[in-house]
């Protein structure tokens, strides 16, 4: 079995779900593995380490430094490189998040290996690691073979694998790593918080998405209400992002985000091929549209031909009733 | 100032995709190729930087791939207004790491490189790897998903999107690589005189094997598959209240989402 390093992402709520999926997998197949946490000096990692223990993690590398307070491709690449040198993994796993997709190609270039992002299946056996990923806007999938890659780096899309805690929690052994001083050519000057505390679309398990059928920005409230009852996030088509009804960060599709939730509810979205490119990897798709000919129905699991202004509030009520 | 823009040709999304019979790849016959939309934004940004400097910059477009495809792609950037091109012809399948290596080798031959622009990803494989790998090979800083860019005396100031819709302002020393996102600008259309002029602009041609060949390949795709046929949509009947109720039931009991 390949010696495996899991790069852990976390937020105020703890280890992120995408990472939890990978920790579950690694623990289930009894692989020789390490988890890595990066963060600022003085950051209290104890709760996160305890959470890693609930997934049966035995070894944790922790690297703390003020230049790791915010994501910076240079300092993070160095910290990962240092970890790789200490634990000599054959496989590195991380969630295919926006940060990971920026970071790991740089790390891979540094350690002379390759990286595969957006993977939607992963199988690890004693002989090999088999991964597949979508290509051409989800119009096909392919298996990815590593060539001349001493270390395989795999970035998994969120919501592809189950999350399960270990039967008996472990108390992880903590190894600290210290980063030498670096002359950084990149500085993070400031961060403008967006939707604080909300999950990113790429990680959301449930997405309620709206298109031009919503008629105007004021009506997105309907979708926010439904999303909040479902514990999901709100997405949008390009038509409404371009119209300025919602920020571009909510756009799903070929020139927006690629999402892979368990449930995607498309309200007043026609289902243009560029929109489908971003969401056809969703497990269950619901389409609510007043036009029975709308292309979105070809991709949907369940469809309601009707007026979203009537259907959506009723759905919110019904879900509130059955879920709470 | 010397600006380099990396561009790629990708199948138009509207193109219907067919696989080769042996599942080793896609059937490229009949595909309509377009410049990767994010790369178009990168070309536009380079041109705007040049214009803001009163023309005191040179914009070179670099592309790696089969010769006819990359030449088309470079010509369309030249028609938009770029100055010259570098075409790196590869007859074999390449990956982002080999691409980055070849561009690195080609740029090493240039007198100076101040700024590299490229799209945040190519819409064919969605890898978003080439830019970051190229920056690492060149030993220069990078940032990606950039939707606002300002050049200053000391470096570049970039605004980028991060998780959860937050935005980050990052400062990079030059030379650096910027991978651009939508929202940065709206690319111009090539004018007719632009298209005519582009035909005479110089394109330096070289081959992948001259620059190191396929020894840098790190990943390769196999076992291509079309998605499984989706069963037809289940349309839910009744009035709105009945539809809402039935949908909740199906999601809970049949699809087991909850
Ligand atoms: C290069 C390129 C890239 C693109 N990238 C993207 C992308 O990333 N993401 C993306 O989404 N698009 C993208 N597009 C645009 C795409 O082609 C479509 O124009 C866009 O997705 C349409 O958005 P829409 O479905 O909201 O609007 P429309 O196509 O106008 O559809 C609105 C729908 O709402 C329905 N409707 C209206 N009123 C109601 C009501 N009261 N109740 C229920 N239904 C109602 C209508 O029947 C209709 O089906 C791209 C296009 C190009 C050329």
CB neighbours of residue A214 within 10 Å: 25
Give the burial class of B11: count Cβ atoms within 10 A of its Cβ; 0-12 exposed, 13-18 middle, 19 or more buried: buried
Asked if B206 and A279 touch (Cβ cutoff 8 Å), the reply is: no
Optimal mutation site among A95, A96, A102, interface B, most CBs of chain B within 10 A: A102
Residues of A in contact with B26 (CB under 8 A): 136, 140
Average pLDDT along chain B, 258 residues, taken 10 residues at a time: 97 92 93 96 98 97 96 98 97 91 97 97 96 98 98 93 90 98 96 97 96 86 92 97 97 95
C-beta A254 within 6 A of ligand 1: yes
pLDDT > 90? residue A276? yes
- Cα of A101 to nearest chain B Cα, Å: 7
pLDDT interval class at A193 (50, 70, 90): confident
C-beta A310 within 6 A of ligand 1: no
The beta strands (E) that lie in B174-218 are given as: 176-180, 203-207
- Cα of B123 to nearest chain A Cα, Å: 7
pLDDT single digits (tens) A122-172: 999 988 999 999 999 899 999 999 999 999 999 999 999 999 999 999 999
pLDDT single digits (tens) A230-251: 999 999 999 999 999 999 999 9
Tell me the CA distances in angstroms from B18 to A136, A143, B26, B224, B231, one per residue in order.
11, 17, 6, 10, 21
pLDDT > 60? residue A208? yes
Question: Which of B14, B217, B247 lies nearest to residue A304, judging by beta carbons?
Answer: B247
Give the burial class of A158: count Cβ atoms within 10 A of its Cβ; 0-12 exposed, 13-18 middle, 19 or more buried: buried
- Cα of A42 to nearest chain B Cα, Å: 23
ipTM entry: 0.95
- Cα of B202 to nearest chain A Cα, Å: 31
C-beta A253 within 6 A of ligand 1: yes
Residues of A in contact with B244 (CB under 8 A): 304, 311, 314-315, 317-318
Predicted pLDDT at A197: 54
Contact: A135, B173; criterion CB under 8 Å: no
pLDDT single digits (tens) A278-290: 999 999 999 999 9
Residue closest to A33 by CA, chosen among A177, A176, A172, A179: A172
Phi, psi of A57 (to 5 degrees): -65, 130
Write the CB contacts of B104 (distance below 8 Å, at least 6 apart in sequence).
B134, B137, B138
pLDDT single digits (tens) A168-187: 999 999 999 999 999 999 99
**In DSSP terms, which residues pair with B60 in a beta bridge?**
B4, B84
Q: Tell how far the Cα of B117 is from the centroid of ligand 1, in angstroms.
A: 30
* Average of per-residue pLDDT values in chain A: 95
Predicted pLDDT at A195: 60
C-beta A303 within 6 A of ligand 1: no
Residues of B in contact with A277 (CB under 8 A): 13, 123
Q: Tell how far the Cα of A307 is from the centroid of ligand 1, in angstroms.
A: 16
Question: Which of A139, A299, A315 lies nearest to residue B248, judging by beta carbons?
Answer: A315
Tell me the CA distances in angstroms from B36 to A57, A177, A196, A309, B40, one per residue in order.
42, 41, 32, 37, 7
């Amino acid at each position: 079995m390949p010696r495996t390093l899991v790069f852990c992402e976390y937020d105020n709520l703890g280890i992120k779900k995408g990472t939890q999926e990978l920790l579950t997998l690694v623990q289930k197949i009894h692989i020789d593995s390490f988890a890595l946490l990066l963060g600022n000096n003085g950051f209290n990692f104890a709760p996160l380490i305890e959470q890693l223990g609930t997934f049966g993690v035995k070894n944790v590398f922790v690297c703390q430094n003020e230049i790791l307070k915010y994501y910076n491709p240079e300092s993070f690449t160095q910290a990962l490189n240092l970890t790789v040198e200490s634990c000599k993994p054959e496989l590195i796993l991380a969630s295919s998040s926006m940060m990971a997709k920026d970071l790991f190609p740089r790390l891979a270039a540094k350690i002379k290996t390759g990286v595969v992002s957006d993977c939607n299946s992963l199988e690890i056996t004693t002989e090999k690691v088999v991964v597949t990923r979508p290509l051409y806007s989800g119009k096909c999938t392919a298996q990815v073979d590593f060539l001349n890659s001493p270390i395989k780096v795999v970035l998994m899309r969120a919501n592809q694998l189950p999350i399960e805690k270990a039967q008996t929690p472990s108390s992880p052994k903590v190894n600290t790593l210290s980063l030498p001083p670096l002359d950084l050519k990149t500085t993070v000057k400031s961060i403008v918080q967006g939707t604080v505390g909300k999950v990113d679309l790429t990680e959301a398990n449930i997405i309620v998405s709206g298109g031009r059928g919503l008629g105007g920005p004021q009506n997105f409230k309907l979708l926010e209400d439904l999303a909040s009852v479902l514990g999901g996030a709100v997405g949008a088509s390009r038509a409404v992002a371009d119209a300025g009804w919602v920020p571009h960060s909510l756009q799903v599709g070929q020139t927006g985000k690629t999402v892979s939730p368990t449930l995607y509810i498309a309200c007043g979205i026609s289902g243009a091929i560029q929109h489908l490119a971003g969401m056809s990897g969703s497990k269950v798709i619901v389409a609510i549209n007043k036009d029975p000919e709308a292309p979105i129905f070809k991709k949907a699991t369940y469809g309601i031909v009707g007026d979203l202004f009537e259907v959506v509030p009723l759905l919110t009520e019904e879900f509130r009733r059955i879920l709470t | 100032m010397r600006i380099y823009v990396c561009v790629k040709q990708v199948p138009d999304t509207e193109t219907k995709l067919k696989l080769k019979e042996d599942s080793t790849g896609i059937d490229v016959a009949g595909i309509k190729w377009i410049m990767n939309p994010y790369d178009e934004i990168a070309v536009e940004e380079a041109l705007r930087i040049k214009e803001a400097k009163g023309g005191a910059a040179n914009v070179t477009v670099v592309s790696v791939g089969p010769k006819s495809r990359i030449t088309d792609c470079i010509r369309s950037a030249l028609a938009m207004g770029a100055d010259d091109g570098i075409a790196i012809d590869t007859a074999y399948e390449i990956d982002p790491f080999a691409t980055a290596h070849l561009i690195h080798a080609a740029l090493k031959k240039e007198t100076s490189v101040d700024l590299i622009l490229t799209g945040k990803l190519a819409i064919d494989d969605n890898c978003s790897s080439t830019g970051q790998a190229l920056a690492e090979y060149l030993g220069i800083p990078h940032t990606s998903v950039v939707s606002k860019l300002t050049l200053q005396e000391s470096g570049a100031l970039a605004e980028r999107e991060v998780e959860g819709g937050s935005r980050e302002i990052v400062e990079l020393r030059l030379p650096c690589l910027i991978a651009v996102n939508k929202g940065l600008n709206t690319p111009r259309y090539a004018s007719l005189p632009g298209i005519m002029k582009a035909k005479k602009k110089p394109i330096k041609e070289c081959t992948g094997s001259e620059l190191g060949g396929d020894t840098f390949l790190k990943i390769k795709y196999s076992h291509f598959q079309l998605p499984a046929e989706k069963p037809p949509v289940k349309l839910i009947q009744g009035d709105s209240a009945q539809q809402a109720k039935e949908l909740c039931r199906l999601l809970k009991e049949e699809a087991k989402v909850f």
